[in-house]
């Protein structure tokens, strides 16, 4: 896979691809975010990098993530996953690998991005590549008939993704709450359980069950 960084077999398993650090350690529960290719403009990202130059280095990652997540919730781009058929497909893709390549704890399919909480059994980079590869082919096959509005570049997903490992019980609960309430925060529904493409209506495994 040419667009996936090589897995580093070390106790920490940290590596960097571009400006985002990743922890690709198996059996470490992580929250992952990936987005459609046109969900943010390059102009906005360039302006953000200029803004970060005036901030302390230790604040860069948090501020970048918070700003990008704010933009994502504004519904920029084609928002192909806002179509019921596309969202259902993406949800099926996530569920397919459950208990095989990873344990799936929580998820939400937003119109232009996806949040997932998993405990991986193989490299995270491999998992995400499989999600993107399979869903890209399927989404393109339904693009014309369902008018998804995918860009002419034929790139469905942005190459980069964000991952944050879960530190403890409190962080685990906060991650699930963030995932489930994302549609509410984005004003897509009033109650998290009303959003059909998430795990909000399903029983969640406790921290002790991980």
Check residue 184 and give its pLDDT.
97
81 in a domain, yes or no?
yes
pTM: 0.81
Residue ranges, the chain, pLDDT below 70: 1-26, 210
Counted domains in the chain: 1
Check residue 23 and give its pLDDT.
52
Q: Looking at beta carbons, which pairs linking 54-63 to residues 24 or more positions away fall under 8 Å? A: 61/20, 61/21
82 in a domain, yes or no?
yes
Tens-digit pLDDT profile for residues 133-179: 999 999 999 998 888 999 887 789 998 898 999 999 999 999 999 99
147 in a domain, yes or no?
yes
165 in a domain, yes or no?
yes
Residue 161 belongs to domain with CATH number: 3.30.70.1290
Residue 150 burial (10 A CB sphere; 0-12, 13-18, 19+): buried
- Residues composing the chain: 210
6 in a domain, yes or no?
no
Check residue 205 and give its pLDDT.
78
Check residue 58 and give its pLDDT.
74
Q: How many helices (H) and strands (E) does the chain have?
A: 5, 6
The sign of the torsion formed by the CA atoms of 56, 174, 202, 180 equals negative
Range of the domain at 167: 16-209
164 in a domain, yes or no?
yes
**Residue partners of 66: CB distance under 8 A and separation at least 6:** none
CA distance 32 to 78: 21
Check residue 20 and give its pLDDT.
46
5 in a domain, yes or no?
no
State the CB neighbour count (10 A cutoff) for residue 98. 13
192 in a domain, yes or no?
yes
CA distance 112 to 36: 5
Percent of all residues in the chain with a pLDDT value above 90, rounded to a whole number: 56
Per DSSP, the three-state class of 16 is strand
- Distance spanning both ends of the chain, measured CA to CA: 30
């Amino acid at each position: 896979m040419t667009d996936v960084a090589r897995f580093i077999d070390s106790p920490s398993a940290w590596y960097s691809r571009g400006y985002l650090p990743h922890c690709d350690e198996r059996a470490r529960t992580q929250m992952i975010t990936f987005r459609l290719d046109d969900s943010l403009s390059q102009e906005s990202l360039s302006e953000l990098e200029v803004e970060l130059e005036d901030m302390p280095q230790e604040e860069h990652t948090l501020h970048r993530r918070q700003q990008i997540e704010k933009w994502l919730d504004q519904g920029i781009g084609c928002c192909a996953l806002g179509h019921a058929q596309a969202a259902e497909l993406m949800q099926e893709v996530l569920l397919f690998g459950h208990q095989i390549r990873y344990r799936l704890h929580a998820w939400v399919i937003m119109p232009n991005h996806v949040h997932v909480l998993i405990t991986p059994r193989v490299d995270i980079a491999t998992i995400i590549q499989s999600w993107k590869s399979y869903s890209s082919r399927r989404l393109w096959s339904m693009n014309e008939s369902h008018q998804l509005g995918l860009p002419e570049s034929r790139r469905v997903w942005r190459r980069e993704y964000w991952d944050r490992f879960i530190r403890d019980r409190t962080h685990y609960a906060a991650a699930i709450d963030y995932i489930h309430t994302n549609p509410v925060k984005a004003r897509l529904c009033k109650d998290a359980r009303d959003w059909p493409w998430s795990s909000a209506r399903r029983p969640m495994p406790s921290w002790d069950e991980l």
